[in-house]
Structure 1
Amino acid sequence: MARKIASDIRAHTGAKMRAADVSTDSIGNVDLISTAASALGDVAYHWDIKSGNVHWADGGARMLGFDAVDEISTEAIYSARIVSQNGSCRLDLISEASGTDMGGGVLFELEYQIKGADGTCHWIEDRGRWFADEDGLPKSAVGVLRVVDGRHDRDDKLARLSTYDDLTGLYNRRRLKEALEETLNAAISRRSSSAFLMLAVDNLSMINESYGFDIADEVIVGVGQRLRDLARRVDVVGRYSGNKFGLVLGNCDKDRLVAVTERMLASIRDQAIKTSHGPVAATLSAGCVSLPAHAQSVEQALSNAEEALTVAKQMQRDSYVIFSPSRDRERLRQHNMNVTDELVSALNERRITLAFQPIVSSMTGEVVMHECLIRLKQHDGSIVAAGNFVPIAEKLGLIGLLDFRAMELALDALRKYPDVNLSLNVSGRTASDPMWLDTLVAKLREDHSLAARLTVEITETMALHEIEGSAEFVKTLRDLGCQLAIDDFGAGYTSFRNLKHLEVDLVKIDGSFVKDLLNNKDNQFFVRTLVELAHNFKLPIVAEWVGSAEEVSMLRDFGVEYLQGFFLGEPVMQLPDTIVRSDVDMKRA
C-alpha cells in the first residue's frame, strides 16, 4: 500500500512536487516513512481530489475505527463520516486554509471529529500539503492523520478549568470578572442599567467546625446551584472566592435589584441545603452595586460590592446593603491611602523611630524601665504620635513592618545604653507571626545580655483570646531571659483564671481606668479589684495615664508598684545617659 501511495503521489504531483518528490529509487524510503508514521500513531494517505479516491497506508482503516479500507476509500464516504458543526466537507476545510501553490504545494492542518463504524467519534489531527492543477485549483493532497482524543480531552479540561470553578461548576473568578466587564461596558454604551451582587455564606466557619470541610463544600455547591437556578438565562453566576459568589445582572434597575437580592437571600434562608449528612441551614449576606451609576470599572464594582457586603455582615446575618456613595467614606479612604504611602516611605527612608517614656517606682520615683513608643518623623522634622497611624497600619496590614522596625530600634538602644531597661509593645497579629519571634530569638541569642533588660508587652486581648499560642510565645521569650507584660489589662476579655497559665511577669492596668480616678468610684473599685487579683498571682502592677500627684498617692495606697504617665515623665526621643529617677517628688505625691 505504501508503494501505491508513492505511485499516486508521482502521478498526481509531477514536477511541481519539489518539496515532496518521491522517485522510483525512494520506494524503500516511502516504506520506511510509512512504517515510522504508523509506529508514531500516524497513518499516511494520498487523496486524488479530482477523482475523489483516497489511498491509505496499511493500518489506516483500523486506526480510524473501520473494518475495511473500502469504507473510507473515497472522499465522499470519508467526509460523510466527519462530524462538523457547520457541515463543511473536508475540501471546504482545506480551502478555508487556502494559499497559492507555487510548485511545492500548500501546507494545511485541520482538526475535526470522525465517526467510526461502531458510532464512536474520534478527534483527528489532519496535516499535509495540497497541490494545484494548471488552473490553481486543488488537484491532490498528501498527508498524515493522527487520533488526538487524549490531547483534545486535556485541552478541553484545561479550557474548562480556565473558565469554570472546579467545585461548583459555576464561572470562576476570572471569567466572572470578564462577564462583569462585558455587562458594564454594554450598560455604559447603551445608557442602560445593570447590577452586580456579591453574596457570602454567613455561617460557613460554624458549618466547618460542626460538620467538617466536606459538608461545608457540599453547602457551597448547593448554594451555588440554587443561585444559578434562580438567575435568568442572561444573568451570570460565578464563585468569587471561598464562601463568596458573584451575580451579574443585565438590564436591572434599582427596584429589580432589591427584588432579586431579597429572593436570593430568601431562597437560602427558607430551605436548608441538602447534603450527605442531611439538611444544613445556611444564610447569605449580600453587597449590591448599581452599574454604571456607582461603578465605572470592574475594580470599582468589586471594591464597592465588597464594602457593601462588609457593612451587611456587620448588621446581622441574612442582610444586604446596596452601595451608595459617601463623601465622608471617600475622604477616609483617601486619608488611609495617604497614610499608607507615608508609612511605606517612612519605613524605606528610616523615618520610623522610637520615643521613650519612663516607668517609675511608686515608692521612690526611681526609673525602672522605659516603654518604647513608635513615632514617625516627617521631612520637616516634626514627630507624629502612634495614635495617628498605628490604627490605620493595623487595618491595612502594615503593622507587622512597624513591629519589625520597632524591634530593631529597641535592640539598638539596649546595645547603646547598657544600663537601660526597655519594654517593647508587639501587636497581636505580629505576636502570632513566627518570623517576628524567630528574628527576635536569633538576635537575642547573639547577645544574651540584651534579653535580661527587655520586657515584651502583649495586649490582654491577644494573650487571653489566643491562650495556647500566647503561652508558647511567653515561654519562648522567658526561656531566653526576657520578661513579659500584659498591656491594657482590664480593657479586653479579662479571664482571671487564665492569668496563671501565662506566667507573665508584669500587668499594666489600662489607662482608661486610671483617667479620672479621683472622681470615678467605679474606676476606683475596678483598679482595686485588678490590683488584688494580680497580687494573688504575685504579679506587680503598672498603672498607665497617671496625671496628678493625687492619683499617684491613691494608686500607691491601692498597692500599685509602678506608675507611668505624662505627670511622671513625657516620652523623649533620646534616652538620657544617666537614668536615676523621675523629677516628681514622690514623698509629696
Structure 2
Amino acid sequence: MVQRGAGSETPAAAAEILNSVGTVTYEWAIPSDRLTWSDNAGDVLGIDPRHLSSGRAYAQMLAKESPAGRYEAIVNSPHVDRGGGVAYAIEYAIRGHGGLTHWVEDSGRWFASSDGRPLRAHGAVRIITESYETRRRLIEASEIDPMTGQLSRHRFCEVLETALEDAVKVRGSIGLLVAAVDNLAHVNEAYGFDIADEIIAAVGKRIRTRLRGGDLLGRLSGNKFGMLIRNCQPEDMEIAAERILNAVRDDVFLTRAGPVAITVTIGGIIAPRHADSLAAMLGRAQEALDGLKARRRGAFQIYAPSLERERARQENLKTTDEIVSALNDRRIGLAFQPIVTAGPERRAAYYECLLRIRRADGTLLPASAIVPLAEKLGLVRLVDARVLELTMAELIAAPDLRLSVNVSPATTMDMSWLRALEAWHRTHPGAVERLMVEITETSAIADVEDTRRFVARVQALGCRVAIDDFGAGHTSFRNLRKLGINCVKIDGAFVASFHSNPDDRHFVKALLELARHMNLTTIAEWVPSEEVAVVLAELGCDYLQGDHTGPASDARPWLATPAAPRALSA
C-alpha cells in the first residue's frame, strides 16, 4: 500500500474522478525526501508503489529521452518563495510496467522554510502521452518537409542561422549551397506534376548520400534544396558541389513514367566572409545560382563580391524609390511622337505615347533604365496603369485624336489593366476605339496563347493591336497569324541601318512583302533620313516613325492642327 499522510484520505468520488482523467496527487517532504501519493498512483502511472516512496526513487523512473524532472524544477528553482509558495509546471517521461513510456505533466507549488530553501511541495501528475505525441508529430511536421523527408525551410533556416552565429563566435567558416532542379517545368509538362514531385524527392535523397556526416540538407522551395556545409572553405565547397552535381547527373532517375535524366545547378556562398546574416546568405547564394543559370545549367558557381554589382544595386534601389515617389506624387507624364503616313504628305495618323518620369527636382529619369527595372521589380503594372489613365484623358479631351500606347509583358497578363480599359470603354467608347495597343514581339512569343487572348479582348473593345519591335524576337508568321494583330512595327535596328547593311535591307523588304500578303499595316521605326523614308514608301511601308519624321515632345501638336489625323488603314 502506498503511504498516505494525515488528512490525505481521498473521497471515493474524488478518487474515481482522478482515475478517470489519469491524474494522481502527491506531497513531497523535501528534507527527508519522503514522497506521499494518492491511492491510485500505481494504477495510473503503471509503476510499482514501492518505487514511489521517495523523490530519489521516483527520479530513477525517468526515461532516457526525458528532460529534467521535478527535482531540478524545485530544488534548483531560481524563484523565491515570498510566503505564498512558488508554482511550477513541467513535462517529462517515466518508464511504466512492461517498459512502456508515459509522458506526464507535473504541476504544483513548492514552499520554502525560514532559510529560503524548498521545504515541501504538493501537486498533481497527469498522463499526457496522447497529447504529447500529437504535439510531437505537429512539431516534426513543421521541421520535416513531408514530400522529400528533408528538413523544412523553417527548420533548415533556424539551424543555418545558429551555425552562422557559432561560426562568428569561434571565427570559423561555413558554406551554404543552393541547388535547383533544372527544367522542372518541362518535366511537369511532359510527365505530370506527380512525376515531378517524385523526382524532387529522389534528388533530395541522392544529394543526402553525398553529404558529410555533420552537414545538413533542407528543402527551400519547390525545386530548390539548401545544404549547410560545416567548417567549409572555398575549395571544400567546390568539392562538395562537384560530388552533388555528379550524383544527380550520372544516373537517370527511375520513375513510374520511366527513366528521366535530371541535372541541378548550384550556387554557393562562404559565411561569414561574404554574408553576416541569414538573409544575406540566402540572397547571395541565390544570386550566384541565378547568375549561373542565365549562362548555363548543370554547373556550380560560388558567390564573389563585385563593386560594380553593388553599385548597380544601389542605383536600382535609388531608381526604385524615385519610381514609387513619382507614382505617389503624380510626376509621371507623357511625350508624344508622331506616326506619319509614308506618302509625300506625311500626315500624322497616330501619336505614340512615350513614358516620362520626372524627379522631384524636375529632371527626367531615362526611360531606358526605368522600364526594365520596373518590370523586374513588379512596378511596371502600376506605371502602365498610370500611363493608360493619362492616355485616356488625352483621347477624351481631343475627339479626333488617335494615340498608341505600349504595354509591358506583365501588363498583358494583368486583369486589372484590362478591367480598367473595359471601364473606360463603358464610359467613353469612342475614345477607346481611337487607341492602339502595342505589345513587344518578345512578350508575344513568350506565351502565344495568353497573348492571343489578350489581343482578342482588347480588339473586342474596338482597339487596334500592334506588334512592336517586330523582327527582334523572330516571331514566326504562323504565330503572327494566330495572334490576329492589326499592325507590325518593324524593329528600328533594321531600319536605321537600312542603307548601310545589305542584310538588314533585304530583311526589311521581306517583312514588308509578307506583311502586305497578310493584309497587315506596317510602321517603320527609327527612320533615319529622307532617303530611307522614300525607299520605304516605295517598298509599300504604310507609316513611318522616327526623329526624321517627327521627334518626341511633350507638346500637343494636335491642339494647333485643324486637320484631324487619319486612322491607320488595314
| Amino acid in structure 2 at the alignment position of 1:503 | G
Q: CA RMSD in A?
A: 3.2
Partner of 1:297 in structure 2? 277
Instruction: Please report how far the alpha carbon of residue 302 of structure 1 lies from its aligned counterpart in structure 2 after TM superposition.
Output: 2.6
Cα distance in 2 for residues equivalent to 1:388 and 1:515: 22
Matched, 1:556 2:555: no
Instruction: Please report how far the alpha carbon of residue 62 of structure 1 lies from its aligned counterpart in structure 2 after TM superposition.
Output: 4.5
- Structure 1's 345 and 102: CA in aligned 2 closer, same or farther, altered over 3 A? closer
Matched, 1:481 2:480: no
Matched, 1:155 2:154: no
Instruction: Please report how far the alpha carbon of residue 310 of structure 1 lies from its aligned counterpart in structure 2 after TM superposition.
Output: 1.8
| Amino acid in structure 2 at the alignment position of 1:228 | R
Q: Residue 395 of structure 1: which of 376, 397, 402 is its match?
A: 376
Structure 1 residues 70-108: Cα deviation after superposition (integer angstroms, max 9, x where no partner): 577645775554325579775555434486666655433
Q: Which runs of 5+ in 2 are unaligned?
A: 566-570
Partner of 1:13 in structure 2? none
Partner of 2:311 in structure 1? 331
Partner of 2:7 in structure 1? 8
| Amino acid in structure 2 at the alignment position of 1:147 | I
Instruction: Please report how far the alpha carbon of residue 221 of structure 1 lies from its aligned counterpart in structure 2 after TM superposition.
Output: 2.1
Cα distance in 2 for residues equivalent to 1:207 and 1:458: 30
- How many correspondences in the alignment? 559
Partner of 2:568 in structure 1? none
Name whichever of 178-187 and 69-78 sits farther off. Answer: 69-78
Partner of 1:435 in structure 2? 416
Cα distance in 2 for residues equivalent to 1:315 and 1:81: 62
Cα distance in 2 for residues equivalent to 1:84 and 1:470: 64
Max radius of gyration: which structure? 1
| Amino acid in structure 2 at the alignment position of 1:541 | T
Structure 1 residues 339-359: Cα deviation after superposition (integer angstroms, max 9, x where no partner): 222212222221111111111
Q: Residue 56 of structure 1: which of 33, 38, 41 is its match?
A: 38
Cα distance in 2 for residues equivalent to 1:248 and 1:79: 39
Structure 1 residues 450-491: Cα deviation after superposition (integer angstroms, max 9, x where no partner): 211111111222223322111211121222111111111122
Structure 1 residues 353-400: Cα deviation after superposition (integer angstroms, max 9, x where no partner): 111111111123221111111011233333344213212222333222
Partner of 1:14 in structure 2? none
2:66/2:94 contact within 8 Å kept: no
Secondary structure class of the residue paired with 2:280: helix
Partner of 1:530 in structure 2? 511
Matched, 1:417 2:416: no
Name whichever of 567-576 and 272-281 sits farther off. Answer: 272-281
Partner of 2:355 in structure 1? 374
Partner of 1:125 in structure 2? 105
| Amino acid in structure 1 at the alignment position of 2:323 | L
Matched, 1:569 2:568: no
Instruction: Please report how far the alpha carbon of residue 298 of structure 1 lies from its aligned counterpart in structure 2 after TM superposition.
Output: 3.1
Partner of 1:21 in structure 2? none
2:489/2:525 contact within 8 Å kept: yes
1:355/1:573 contact within 8 Å kept: yes
Q: Residue 468 of structure 1: which of 445, 449, 455 is its match?
A: 449
Instruction: Please report how far the alpha carbon of residue 51 of structure 1 lies from its aligned counterpart in structure 2 after TM superposition.
Output: 8.0
Name whichever of 129-138 and 187-196 sits farther off. Answer: 129-138
Name whichever of 74-83 and 201-210 sits farther off. Answer: 74-83
2:424/2:432 contact within 8 Å kept: no
2:19/2:44 contact within 8 Å kept: no
2:70/2:106 contact within 8 Å kept: no
For residues 177-192 of structure 1, what are the structure 2 equivalents within 5 Å? Answer: 177-192=157-172
Name whichever of 48-57 and 539-548 sits farther off. Answer: 48-57
Q: Which runs of 5+ in 1 are unaligned?
A: 11-26, 584-589
1:460/1:489 contact within 8 Å kept: yes
Cα distance in 1 for residues equivalent to 2:451 and 2:294: 28
Cα distance in 1 for residues equivalent to 2:81 and 2:163: 46
Instruction: Please report how far the alpha carbon of residue 47 of structure 1 lies from its aligned counterpart in structure 2 after TM superposition.
Output: 3.4
Structure 1 residues 398-426: Cα deviation after superposition (integer angstroms, max 9, x where no partner): 22221111111111111222221111110
Matched, 1:505 2:486: yes
- Structure 1's 325 and 101: CA in aligned 2 closer, same or farther, altered over 3 A? closer
Secondary structure class of the residue paired with 2:485: coil
| Amino acid in structure 1 at the alignment position of 2:406 | N
Alignment TM-score, normalising by the size of structure 2? 0.88
Instruction: Please report how far the alpha carbon of residue 321 of structure 1 lies from its aligned counterpart in structure 2 after TM superposition.
Output: 1.5
For residues 296-315 of structure 1, what are the structure 2 equivalents within 5 Å? Answer: 296-315=276-295
Partner of 1:360 in structure 2? 340
1:222/1:274 contact within 8 Å kept: no
Matched-pair identity in %: 40
Secondary structure class of the residue paired with 1:358: strand
- Structure 1's 279 and 500: CA in aligned 2 closer, same or farther, altered over 3 A? closer
Instruction: Please report how far the alpha carbon of residue 319 of structure 1 lies from its aligned counterpart in structure 2 after TM superposition.
Output: 1.0
- Structure 1's 135 and 370: CA in aligned 2 closer, same or farther, altered over 3 A? closer
Cα distance in 2 for residues equivalent to 1:470 and 1:117: 71
Cα distance in 2 for residues equivalent to 1:139 and 1:84: 28
